Structure formats: structure tokens, C-alpha cells
Amino acid sequence: MPFIPHTEDEIRDMLSVIGADSIEQLFDEIPAHLRIKKLEGIPDGLNEMEVSRLMTARAAQDGMPVCFMGAGAYDHHIPAAVWQITTRGEYYTAYTPYQAEASQGTLQLIYEFQSMMTALTAMDVSNASLYDGASALSEAVLMAVRGNRKSKSRRILVPTNVNPVYRSATKSIVQHQAIELIDVEFDTKTGQTTLDALKAYEGEDITAVVISQPTFFGTLEQVDAITDWAHANGIMVIAVVNPTSLSLLKPPGEWGDKGVDIACGDGQPLGAPMSSGGPYYGFMCCKKEHVRQMPGRIVGRTLDQDGKEGFVLTLQAREQHIRRSKATSNICTNQGLVVTASTIYMSLLGPQGLEKVAAACHLNTNRLIEKVSAVKGVDVLFNGIVFHEVVLKLNKPVAEVLAALAEKNILGGFDLSSDYPQLKNAMLVCATEMRTDEEIDRYARALSEIL
């Protein structure tokens, strides 16, 4: 019996202790007519060799195209040590550290993770993670509604250059709580959110504004000016940031005079494989004064009975198992295992390694821009600096071009036409540190052959 160790003798002995004739008898409190005899629709079990054969074939079937796609999931190098250590049974098969004394490994690791995230973002505190970037933004919105006591409106300004699926997931998650998400259009020349567009709301009661740095288009926002404008108008600032970029770009804790109130984003670029979309994790950092409004697990350092340093889950009075219907969120878990990977990733790369990753991504993308700009039928849509993604405007429908690139085993980019029909024939392209000069040249050549 796969994974079940019982022998016939043991089963007999155990039933006799229970005083039952058969295992079936243990289910005698369940109405007999509801019980099923068989699971007809489930295939017969396979052994490990057979399942391996099946999965190996399926994994191979999906090919491994050269990836120029980003749009929220990024192809980065992950050092070998990261997942070898992460999948040690002591991390992989532990649960939430409720018994702190028997979970100091996980707890200290989360404390170190929180410390690293505050280092990267220049914020005061971090939680132990949320599900992904989209859920982190939705929780940040809920947190701002609780945190901005001066605002009664529950209205949030969300520029449309924020990742569209983050916006739609946030809408799905917060819509039942009378929260209004207001679209703020970006400037069509620069892809940026302008102060003028925001100033249209001056004098109104606005709870928070979301700023994405870089934007979904890869362009850079005037983060200082927007942050200061918001604070001058009693509006909380939620930053959505790419963690790779933070080694190069100004961290949200230093935007404007006071820094943002909440910073969040997706931790995938820090050591999680693209893996079809998950598991990733959402990170969330905030200013000290908002910590009691923050959702999710938080680990604190304290002392034991002998005065020795140790780590515990703390501020649990915010959480569902204590507060039930009055909790800050229904969230129980974090994405512990992926946080483990990320903590090891950041430790291995260190500040200089992370800066090199960010620089290599940026320089590769600049090189890509230079190469494809020379291709007839390709225009760079927005003027200005980008981090590691760029919007290209084509003289043909994007779907057609992407299909032709796929024939050449190239994952050519993300088609923006359904989320941004007004941009017409635009696609979002990314070149991380993984792309070689040769691959970038090949990409440009392929485009010129197709267009």
C-alpha cells in the first residue's frame, strides 16, 4: 500500500483495541446510503517509475523556448544551493511555527527575511509574506483603508500602468467591502502617471494612491513628486515595486520627504523559478506606525526564560484564529518555503551580487532596445528610461508576430492588445541577465525576418 505502513497483523491488533470487527465498521456513524463503494473516475495507481515516465514526457513536451517575456514573472538565474537547501525535509515538511521552541529554524529564517526586505525597501517593518504580488496589493489596499483614519471615502487611486492582473485581482478581492478603485490614465507619450492626472482629485477625500515602480510598461515614475503630493493631501502611498530593481532604484522608504506608507510586490524574482506562475510570494513592508494594521504572519525576536535570544510569531491578536470575524484578514499562512528560497538567494548574492543582477537586466534591455530599434516595423512606444522591460509597437498584429517567433522557439513577449487595446499592436518585452548577446541579436534578426 503506497505510503501506508500497516501490516495485516497490526490492523487486526489495532481493531481489537478499538473493539471493532473491521475498518468499515469505523464509518458506521455515516449514513450508509451516502457512502460510496468506488472512485470510478480515478485511474488506477501508478508506481514511481511509471509516474516519472509520464511527468518527464509532459515536462519535455512544453519545450524550453528562449524567454523574452516578463509581465510579472521573470527568468533569473537561481544558484544551485537555493533549492537544494530549501527542499531539505526540515524546511519542506515543517508547518507554521506554532510550537516556537521546535521551530526556531523557520522562525529565525523569517526574521532574517523580514530584515532583508526592510533593507531592500528601506521600510521599517516587513511581514512574513503573502500569497503573491496581486494578493499583496489587494491586502495593501485593505490595510490602507484601515490605516488612513482621516479618510472616510475608501477610494483608492490606481494608475492603469499598474500590472492589469494585479488590478483585476484586487478588484475581485476588495469589491465586497465598499472600496472604490479609481483608474488614473497614464500619459500616452511616456507611459508615466502624471501629477496633473492625480491633481484632478485634489480636494476630494482619497484614501490611498498606488504607484508602480517600474510601471507595468517598464517605465519609471516620478516617485518623489507623487509621494509628496499624496502626503500633502492626506493620501496614503502604496508602492508596488520589483525587488530586483531595488538594488538600482531608489527604495520606496526614501521616496519623497517621508517615504511611502506601504510597499509591496512579488518576490518571485528573488529565487523562485517561473514555474507556470507559482508558488511565488507577495511581500509587504510598512512604516512602524501601521504595523498593527498589517495582515499576515510577523516574527519577532524575544528572550526565553533563561534570557537567551529566540524568535516567535507575534502580534497574533490581529489574526483570524484569535479575532475571527474582526481579523485584519482571513490569511493564515505565508508562502514559507518560497520565502526560505528567497532568503537564501539574497544571502548568496549579497548587496553587490544583487546590484549586478539589476544592472545586467537593465543593460541587456537597453541593448535589446538598441537592436530592435534598428528593425523596420518596430518602434519603442514610450520615450524615457526603462528598468528591464520595454513596450514595442509593431506594424503587424502582435499575435501573428508572437506566433512566428514561437516557431523559432522564442517566447517573444506579452501581447498588450487585450489589456490596452488603445495602444494598438503593442507588446511588452523583457531581457533579464539570463539573455546572452547572441540571443538578443537572434531576437532582433527574427523580428526583422517576420516584419
Partner 1 sequence: MLIFEHTTQGRQNTAQAPVVNAEVNDIPVELRRKTAAPLPELSELQVVRHYTRLSQKNFSIDTHFYPLGSCTMKYNPRACNSLAMLPGFLSRHPLAPEKFSQGFMACIYELQNMLCEVTGMAGFSLTPMAGAQGEFAGVAMIRAYHDAKQDFERKEILVPDAAHGTNPATATMCGYTVKEIPTLDNGDVDLDALKQAVGPQTAGLMLTNPSTLGVFERRIEEIAKTVHQAGGLLYYDGANLNAILGKIRPGDMGFDVIHSNLHKTFSTPHGGGGPGSGAIGVSNRLKPFLPLPMVAKEGESYRWLTEKDCPQTIGRLSAFMGNAGVLLRAYVYMRLLGKEGMQRVGEFATLNANYMMAQLKNKGFDVAIPDRRASHEFIVTLKKQAKELHVTAMDFAKRLLDLGYHAPTTYFPLLIPECLLIEPTETEAKESLDGFIEAMLQIQSEAENDAEFVKGAPYTMPVKRLDEVRAAKQLDLSWVNQS
Instruction: Spell out a b/e string for 410-442, using b for 16 or more CB atoms within 10 Å of the CB, else e.
Output: bbbbbbbeebbeebebbbbbbbbbbbeeebbeb
Q: Are the C-beta atoms of residues 257 and 226 closer than 8 Å to each other?
A: no
Binding mask 273-302 for partner 1 (x = CB under 8 A): xxxxxxxxx---------x-----xxxxxx
Q: Which stretch binds partner 1 (CB under 8 A): 13-21, 147-155, 181-189, 198-206?
A: 13-21
Instruction: Spell out a b/e string for 226-257, using b for 16 or more CB atoms within 10 Å of the CB, else e.
Output: bbbbbbebebbbbbbbbbbbbbebbbbbbbbe
8 binds partner 1 (CB under 8 A): no
Instruction: Find the binding residues for partner 1 in span 76-115 (CB under 8 A).
Output: 77, 79, 81, 83, 85, 87-106, 108-112, 114-115
Rounded distance between C-alpha atoms, residue 333 and residue 344, angstroms: 20
Residue with cell 490581529: 318
Nearer to partner 1, 250 or 442 (CB): 250
Size of the site for partner 1 (CB under 8 A): 200
Q: 240, 398, 402, 447: which one contacts partner 1 (CB under 8 A)?
A: 402
Q: How far is CA 405 from CA 128, 389, 412, 444, in A?
A: 40, 18, 6, 11
Q: Which stretch binds partner 1 (CB under 8 A): 149-157, 183-191, 390-398, 402-410?
A: 402-410
Q: Are the C-beta atoms of residues 241 and 265 closer than 8 Å to each other?
A: yes
Minimum CB distance to partner 1, residue 117 (Å) = 8
Instruction: Find the binding residues for partner 1 in span 370-389 (CB under 8 A).
Output: 385
Q: Phi, psi (5° rounding) for residue 376?
A: -70, 135
Pairing of strands 208-213, 155-159: parallel
Nearer to partner 1, 81 or 200 (CB): 81
Q: Are the C-beta atoms of residues 262 and 290 closer than 8 Å to each other?
A: yes
Q: Which stretch binds partner 1 (CB under 8 A): 65-73, 204-212, 373-381, 439-447?
A: 65-73
Q: 182, 195, 322, 374: which one contacts partner 1 (CB under 8 A)?
A: 322
* Cα diameter, the chain: 82
125 binds partner 1 (CB under 8 A): yes
Nearer to partner 1, 201 or 274 (CB): 274
Instruction: Find the binding residues for partner 1 in span 17-46 (CB under 8 A).
Output: 17-20, 23, 26-31, 34-36, 38-46
Instruction: Find the binding residues for partner 1 in span 193-252 (CB under 8 A).
Output: 220, 223-224, 246-251
Instruction: Find the binding residues for partner 1 in span 333-352 (CB under 8 A).
Output: 333-340, 343-344, 346-352
